[in-house]
A and B are shown apart, each in its own frame.
Chain A
Amino acid sequence: MDNFKDLKFYSQFFRKCSKCGTCKSAYSYGPPPTFATICPQGEYFKLDSYYGSRSKSFLGHAILENKVDLTDPAIQEDMQKAAFSCTVCGGCQSQCQLDYKPWIVDYIEQIRNHLVNMGIGPTKAEKAYQQKIIKDHNPYGETHSSRFNWLKDVKNLKTDGNTVYFAGCTASYRRTQIAKSTASVLSKLGEDWAVMGENEYCCGSPLLRAGLRDEPQKLAEHNVDYINDQGFKTVVTACAGCYKVLSKEYEKWWGLKLKAKVMHTSQYLEEKMKKGELKLNNVKATVTYHDPCHMGRHMNHYEVDMDGKKMWKGAYVQMDKPGLYETPRNVLKAIPGIEFKEMYRNRDNSFCCGAGGGIKSSYPDVALETAKTRVQEAEKVAGVQKIVTPCPFCVTNLCDGAQALGSKIEVVDLIQLVDQALKK
């Protein structure tokens, strides 16, 4: 358990940002050398105060050492915009080579928390969904009782069993086809599965991303208590955001340990595939894959020499375990008839869909422009008909981007494609 640390704790790391600007773009020598933009916030605003983790170390320095007058309402507004219009995608973190690297995502969110404590955050939109989550346990303002309306047609629905499907708010209220497909896949595979019913609350991710701490803790305690009390062995979720929070953050921040194994649906499916239990029909399509940040970069594990035995105290040693980059690709490639083609930016260098970090609500223009950029990247891949991604929130924003562009590209969740391919 890390517990949340005060922003001052992080100053020892962010002052190690040399301001070299390597975080501003993705680059690899290769050969061939490859260059790509990586920071959605920086690409939208262009000012150095918005670009990469370098800008965040400037902001943290300004906040902690009173370099700007944060009692001035106009400056508060500017600080909020700079700190809260980042998608917290971690693209900058993947580029950084310094001891600052392992701390970047946590640090950005801690800046937000610090500003929240100063009354300079969250944003108006985040405050609004904060209230909705408190009232109805979802950020969309829908009634809690309607959370599982999508299950109306499922027969013999259970609330106990071996595996619980944690649907998450977006799949429950906005992308119900993803939830239905997940239920369908679990049933087709003969899984002894259940839902949490009225006991499923928002995972807390939207609040954590906004720098809030108390409300997400309550949500975490509720979800963990219920899942543990019911004795589920496995928690499956089709949402990248829920996956990150359930599998990593509940324990990291609050020491709340789920007794059940947390799996993203792609991990569940890959496991079935390895056991030979995934019999897939032909689905003819040329597709590309979009990496959700919360499943990919955010799940990278970085080795830090905390006690200085290997290198020196606080040294970043290496990325010793990558996030879920290959697992969803393996599932996708296993579907007969699928022609898979990578986008130029992928895995660690993937470009964010633009929805994360509270941006979809707080800065919809940034979110939409970012999504359009990503869809346009997919359009450049010859013959691609579909963008496949295993995250309802990415699906939502990329769909919005495709619609705004009038693109013919279809955006689908991986689980929908698997459901289509899965033999009954």
Chain B
Amino acid sequence: MDKKDRIYKVLTQIVGDEKWVSNSPVDCWCYSYDMSFVRPKMPQYVVLPQTVEEIQSIVRLANAEKMPIVPFTGGTNIGGLCIPEQGGIVVDLKRMNKILRIDTESRYAIIEPGVSHAELAQELYKVKARFGWPVGPPSASVLAAAINHGIGGITGRYGLNSQNITSMEVVLPTGETARVGSCAIRPDAWHSCLPLPRLDGLFTGWLGTTGIVTKVGIFTPPVPDYVHIGTFSAQNLKDMEKFMRTFSKYEYSDDFTSISWWLSQVPIPYPFIEKPKGAPEWNGYCVMYGFTEKELENKVDTFNKVISGEKKTGSSVDATDVPEESKRGRTQLPSQIVGSTKNYCKMGGGGISWPGTFTPSNRWVQVYDQWKDIYMNKLSPALSPAVRVTMYRGTHYGMLRLMTPFPRDRPAEEANAANGIIECLKVLLDAGGIPYKPPVAMQREINQRADPGYVDLIMKVKDMLDPNHIMNPGKYQVR
């Protein structure tokens, strides 16, 4: 029996049925690319385990064979994170889709990797709880979004989804299981990662290169009874950023976001079109919740006063009147419309990627101006500078990202978009922004600028956890 057949046979024995294993190129092709511009790369096997023990056995097999393994849930990210750079075994976790607990008193849920945003949203709604739903597809994995520093509709109040992880169970790259957070001390306690060492940090933001997370506890705060969505516009990002920075210090908003004119179009114009004269270049929304009417009134009052105060200084920021339907789209997440990337890539033609970054707000203007110059003047065809900025909890930094649609069936235009993204990334990195969920092409640029000690530490951690370098290799471009 050759190696290919032998591995197939062992994988089948592990998961108990040929149905849950494939080495067919037909099946493997469907795991070879995603929405992004990252070129397709085929795995040799796809396996669908249902238990932690099965994952452990798969990992041990991969170590014995020195074969890469790539964890996969929805396959819906736009950074090529699940594309097997060096082939190997894709471990598709969608059969592990149980919501194991929703604790309404301690306000957390325990879920498996295959639980989708749609599924959890349905169950949390029943108990009037919520999570940071992103503008991702309803079928996307909650766990994957959380461990990859996903953002969502409550990021302004509660921080990133990864900051709301309360405990974790992981199959390490060597096949052992480990628990971090309170569940490490008592198996049924999943309420907090603190006060223990933040070992969850070994598995968040690592792009699936340090283990396979098999359960995660997440904070699920209650849904307040009262909501107001304040909307506003500005003629330029300078005024908009100043206003957002000023109001965000109160920490009154659950979601505080502005988008450039090009992103506010449905869908993003492809290729670039001129903004109509007089139209504000930036529009924004601020989602404010209150558990009492008085609490909400105070927030709205402060919001209005900050806008008035900015206007007195000569700022172009002003409150706007937006149709209720459009406002509802800000809170009604997850969403098929937004999550399908309809708003983003429909006109472009199927492809979508970005430089999505965490960047201090006081750098937004300089980066945006350079991004506009690249997209509008240096690409052919010119592309729309469809930019979103969102304040995270606190005032010091936020998200700055440039959604970039492109046609999948026109390689030259796909390359044009990919080139634009990388050029924009360079500008961003030089300004101190950090990309999240980066494709490998971005990772190379990051590493070139990184402190050598940081890169060395990444390698040391990887060597310690993953001595055979089997976990999603290539994603960090250091091994």
Contacts and interface: CB of A to CB of B under 8 A. Distances in A.
Given A47-B30, A97-B342, 17 more contacts: A12-B409, A18-B340, A21-B74, A22-B339, A25-B119, A27-B138, A29-B333, A33-B334, A34-B122, A47-B22, A47-B27, A49-B26, A58-B30, A62-B26, A67-B40, A99-B346, A312-B347
The interface size bin for chain A is 35 or more
A109 B464 CA distance: 51
A28 B140 CA distance: 14
Contacts of B280: none
Interface string A19-31: 1111011011111
Contacts of A47: 22, 27, 30, 46, 48, 92
B173 interface: no
B169 interface: no
B33 A19 contact: yes
Contact of B29 (A24, A32, A68, A96): A68
Contact of B20 (A25, A46, A97): A46
14 contacts: A16-B346, A18-B350, A19-B33, A22-B339, A25-B118, A34-B122, A48-B31, A49-B22, A49-B30, A55-B30, A79-B26, A82-B26, A82-B27, A100-B350
Contacts of A78: 22, 24-27
B146 interface: no
Contacts of B122: 32-35
Contacts of B60: none
B200 interface: no
Q: Which of A16, A55, A67 has the largest count of B CB atoms less than 10 A from its CB?
A: A16
A22 B76 CA distance: 9
Contacts of A34: 122
A95 interface: yes
B76 A21 contact: yes
B125 interface: yes
Contacts of A177: none
B351 A32 contact: no
Q: Which of A18, A62, A74, A79 has the largest count of B CB atoms less than 10 A from its CB?
A: A18
Contact of B118 (A11, A33, A75): A33
Contact of A33 (B25, B34, B121, B342): B121
Interface of B: 19-20, 22, 24-27, 29-31, 33-35, 40, 46, 48, 72, 74-76, 92, 94-95, 116, 118-119, 121-122, 125-126, 137-140, 332-337, 339-342, 345-347, 349-352, 407-409
A16 B26 contact: no
Contacts of B74: 21, 24
A395 B439 CA distance: 50
A307 B102 CA distance: 51
Nearest to B29: A62
A212 B380 CA distance: 44
Given A20-B339, A20-B340, A47-B46, A29 B332 contact: yes
B330 to A, nearest CB: 12
Contacts of B125: 30-33
Contacts, number: 150
Q: Which of B33, B48, B139, B335 has the largest count of A CB atoms less than 10 A from its CB?
A: B139
Contact of A46 (B34, B95, B340): B95
A21 B350 CA distance: 12
Contacts of B409: 11-12, 15
A55 B92 CA distance: 15
Contacts of B27: 47-49, 78, 82
B139 A25 contact: yes
B119 A19 contact: no
A19 B344 CA distance: 13
Nearest to A44: B19
Contacts of B94: 46
A25 B31 CA distance: 18
Q: Which of B40, B333, B350 has the largest count of A CB atoms less than 10 A from its CB?
A: B350
A17 interface: yes
A47 B347 CA distance: 29
Contacts of A15: 349-350, 407-409
A75 B126 CA distance: 46
A22 B137 contact: yes
A69 B340 CA distance: 31
Interface in A34-80: 34-35, 45-49, 55, 58-59, 62, 67-69, 74-75, 78-79
Q: Which of A29, A58, A96 has the largest count of B CB atoms less than 10 A from its CB?
A: A29
Nearest to B338: A97
A69 B25 contact: yes
Contact of B48 (A25, A46, A69): A46
Contacts of A21: 74-76, 137, 139-140
A270 B351 CA distance: 46
A417 interface: no
B335 to A, nearest CB: 6
A67 B30 CA distance: 11
Contact of A18 (B19, B40, B92, B352): B352
A214 to B, nearest CB: 27
A80 B144 CA distance: 32
A301 to B, nearest CB: 20
A98 interface: yes
Q: Which of A11, A15, A19, A25 has the largest count of B CB atoms less than 10 A from its CB?
A: A19
Q: Which of B24, B26, B138, B342 has the largest count of A CB atoms less than 10 A from its CB?
A: B26
A315 B351 CA distance: 16
A27 B336 contact: yes
Q: List the 4 closest A-B pairs by CB distance, nearest first.
A: A49-B30, A97-B340, A27-B138, A27-B118
A24 B139 contact: yes
B416 to A, nearest CB: 16
Nearest to A46: B48
Contacts of B336: 22, 27-29, 95, 97
A258 to B, nearest CB: 37
Interface string A240-252: 0000000000000
A248 B119 CA distance: 36
A31 B266 CA distance: 23
A20 B48 CA distance: 20
Given A19-B75, A20-B35, A35-B119, A29 B342 contact: no
B116 A35 contact: yes
A27 B334 contact: yes
A111 to B, nearest CB: 12
A75 B25 contact: yes
A31 B328 CA distance: 11
B287 to A, nearest CB: 15
A102 to B, nearest CB: 13
Given A15-B409, A32-B125, A49-B29, A25 B116 contact: yes
Nearest to B342: A97
Nearest to B126: A32
A25 B138 contact: yes
A68 B119 contact: no
Q: Which of B29, B31, B347 has the largest count of A CB atoms less than 10 A from its CB?
A: B29
B346 A98 contact: yes
Contacts of B48: 46-47
Nearest to A45: B19
B24 A22 contact: no
